[in-house]
C-alpha cells in the first residue's frame, strides 16, 4: 500500500533540509501558498514565524516540516502540491517520488525527458507542416475534381503551385495527373 503523505514527508525531510535549492525565496513561496490558499493549515501568526528573515532558512524549513507533519495528512498533501507548483525540479527529485517512479516503471523508461518529448509534435519546423498541408490540399483537389468534369484553369494553377515545394518525383506525379485530366 502507498505511504501516506505524512509518512512521505517524514522520509523526504532529510533530503529537503539538505537540498540547496530550498532557498529563502522558495520557502517563502511555500509558506505564502499554504497561508493564503489554506489558512487552516498555516494561520497568519504561524506564517509570520516561518517567514521571519532573522532566523536562518534551514531552521525555518525544519520547523515548517515538523509543523506540517504535526498538522496531519491534508497539510502534508498541500505542502507537496505547493512544492510541485513552485519547484518541479525539487519535487521530482524527492526520494519518495524517485522510488515511486522506479516501482511503477522498473525498466526506467518513463523519464522526465520522455514526458517533455511526448508533447513535441515534431522537430522539423514550419516548412514541413506547410509541405504536408500542401499535399493534403492537392490530394483534396484531385479527389474533388476526379469525379466530374475535367480540371478547370484555376485548379490547374493551384495544383501547379502545389508542386513547388516537392521533390521531382512528386512534381512529376501531380503534373502528369493534371495533364491526363485535361486530355479527357
pLDDT at 1: 39
Cα separation, 4 vs 146, whole angstroms = 65
Could you tell me the pLDDT band of residue 128, with boundaries at 50, 70 and 90? confident
Range of the domain at 43: 5-110
The residue out of 110, 138, 157 marking a domain boundary is: 110
Average pLDDT over residues 107-129: 60
Residue 106 lies in a domain: yes
Residue 102: predicted pLDDT: 72
Instruction: Judge whether 121 lies within some domain.
Output: no
Res 28: pLDDT = 92
**Sign of the C-alpha dihedral computed for residues 102, 108, 111 and 114 taken in this order:** negative
pLDDT (0 to 100) of residue 155: 60
Instruction: Give pTM, 2 decimals.
Output: 0.54
Integer Cα distance of 169 and 159 in angstroms? 15
Question: Is 69 a member of any domain?
Answer: yes
pLDDT (0 to 100) of residue 157:
61
Domain co-membership, 21 together with 50: yes
The pLDDT assigned to 112 comes to 54
Are 10 and 91 found together in one domain? yes
For residue 118, being part of any structural domain is answered with no
Question: What are the pLDDT digits (tens) for 35-74?
Answer: 998 888 889 999 999 888 899 989 999 999 999 999 889 9
The CATH number given to whatever domain includes residue 28 is 1.10.533.10
Within a domain: 120: no
Mean of the per-residue pLDDT values of the chain: 78
| Stretch among 4-18, 98-112, 152-166 having the lowest mean pLDDT | 152-166
Domain shared by 90 and 137, yes or no: no
Q: How far apart are CA 178 and CA 138, in angstroms?
A: 11
Beta strands in 51-173 (DSSP E): none
* Number of domain units in the chain: 2
Distance CA 163, CA 161 (A): 5
Amino acid at each position: 500500500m502507498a505511504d501516506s503523505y505524512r509518512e512521505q514527508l517524514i522520509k523526504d525531510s532529510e533530503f529537503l533540509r539538505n537540498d540547496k535549492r530550498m532557498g529563502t525565496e522558495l520557502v517563502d513561496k511555500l509558506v505564502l501558498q499554504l497561508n493564503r490558499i489554506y489558512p487552516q493549515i498555516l494561520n497568519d501568526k504561524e506564517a509570520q514565524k516561518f517567514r521571519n528573515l532573522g532566523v536562518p532558512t534551514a531552521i525555518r524549513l525544519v520547523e515548517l516540516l515538523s509543523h506540517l507533519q504535526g498538522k496531519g495528512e491534508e497539510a502534508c498533501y498541500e505542502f507537496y502540491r505547493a512544492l510541485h507548483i513552485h519547484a518541479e525540479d525539487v519535487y521530482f527529485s524527492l526520494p519518495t517520488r524517485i522510488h515511486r517512479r522506479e516501482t511503477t516503471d522498473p525498466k526506467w523508461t518513463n523519464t522526465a525527458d520522455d514526458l517533455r518529448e511526448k508533447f513535441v509534435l515534431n522537430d522539423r519546423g514550419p516548412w514541413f507542416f506547410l509541405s504536408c498541408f500542401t499535399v493534403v490540399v492537392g490530394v483534396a483537389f484531385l479527389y474533388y475534381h476526379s469525379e466530374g468534369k475535367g480540371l478547370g484553369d484555376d485548379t490547374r494553377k493551384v495544383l501547379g503551385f502545389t508542386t513547388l515545394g516537392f521533390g521531382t518525383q512528386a512534381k512529376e506525379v501531380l503534373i502528369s495527373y493534371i495533364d491526363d485530366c485535361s486530355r479527357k
